[in-house]
Amino acid sequence: MKKWRFAFSRRWFGYLALVLAFAIGCVFLSQWQFDRREEAATEVARISENWQAEPQQLESVMPDLENFDDDNKWMPVTISGEYLASKQLLVRGRPYSGQPGFEVLVPFQLNSGRVIVVDRGWVPAGNSQDAPDAVPAPPTGQIDAVVRLKPSEPTVQGRSAPDGQVATIHLPTVEQMLDRPTYVGGFGLLASESPGVADMPIAYPKPLLDEGAHLSYAFQWVAFGVLAFIGLGWAIRQEYRLINEADPVERKRAEKRKRKTEERGPTDAQIEDAIIDA
C-alpha cells in the first residue's frame, strides 16, 4: 500500500476534485438533454394527434382571449368573418428553405366581433429593399377558414421593426396596433379558406416528426463523465509505474507488456515513422 501513497497527496486530490466537478457537469448536461428529448417527444406526439384532427369551433377550443393551452397547439379550428386587410403586418427575419423572407399576418375579424391574427404564409424578401416585392392580398368579404392554432411568441430584446412589420408574432404588441378585442394567447396558421384567391403566400409544411439527437447526446455526456474517472485512474497508474520502475515486480510487468507489444507487431504510427526516417 505504501507504493500507492503518492495518490493520496494534495495534488491528486486536486485532480480528483476537478474530475468530480466535470462529472457533475456531465450529469447536469445529460439530464438537460433528457429533458429536451422529452419536450421534443411531446411536441411530436402533439403534431401527430392534432394536425389531422377534425376541425373544432374556435370558441370551444380557445374560449378566452388571453390564455392558450399547449395541448391545443396545431389543432385545426374553423373561423368565419372577414380579413382586415388594411391592418396587415409582416414578420421580418423568417427564412424558408434557406431563403430570407417574411410571414404575412392578417387580422381576421370574427362574426362575434373578436379578432384573431391569421398567419397566411411566407413571402420572399425583395431584391432591393428590406421588404417583399409583392404580398398577395387576402380575399375580401365573408370568409370561412380553417386555421391551426399556435401560441403567441415572446419578444426578442434589441430586435425592432419598421412600420408595417413586427420582429416576432407577439400578440399583445399586435393587439396594441389594432385597438380591438384580440386573441393574445394564440393565433392561427392558415390551412384553408373559402372563397380563396389564386395568388397565395407559400404555406409552411407540416413540421417534421423528429425528436432529434437529444437521447444520443444524453448518453454521450454520461460516457464523458465515466471516461473522466477512467482517465484519472490511468494517470495514477502511469505515475505508479514511473515511481516504481526500479521495483523487480514492476520490471517484470514492464517486460511482459513490452513482449506483448512486440508480438502484435509495429503500430501504424511506428510504420509511418519508419517510412519517414527512411
Cα-Cα-Cα-Cα dihedral sign, residues 230, 236, 239, 244: negative
Contact 143, 159 (CB under 8 A): no
Backbone φ, ψ for residue 225 (5° rounding)? -65, -40
pLDDT, one tens digit per residue, over 8-50 is 888 889 999 999 999 999 999 999 999 999 999 999 999 999 9
Give me the pLDDT at residue 258, please: 67
Domain 54-194, classified CATH 2.40.50, yes or no: yes
**Looking at this protein, which amino acid is placed at residue 278?**
A
Residue 271, pLDDT > 70, answer no
Q: 248, 255 in Cβ contact below 8 A?
A: no
At 119-149, the pLDDT tens digits run 999 999 888 668 888 899 999 999 999 999 9
Burial level of 107, CB count in 10 A (0-12/13-18/19+)?
Answer: buried
The pLDDT tens digits of the residues spanning 69-100 come to 999 999 999 999 999 999 999 999 899 988 99
54 has a pLDDT exceeding 80: yes
pLDDT at 278 over 70: no
Query: pLDDT tens digits, residue range 212-227?
Result: 889 999 999 999 999 9
Longest dimension (CA), the chain: 98
User: For the packed helices 214-243 and 10-50, what is the interaxial angle rounded to 10 degrees?
Assistant: 170
Q: 31: Cβ–Cβ under 8 A, 6 or more apart, which residues?
A: 218
- Grid cell for residue 211: 425528436
Q: Distance (Å, rounded) from C-alpha 186 to C-alpha 218?
A: 33
pTM attached to this predicted model: 0.74
If you search the block for the grid coordinates 456531465, which residue do you land on? Answer: 26
Q: Which residue ranges make up each domain of the chain?
A: 1-50+213-257, 54-194
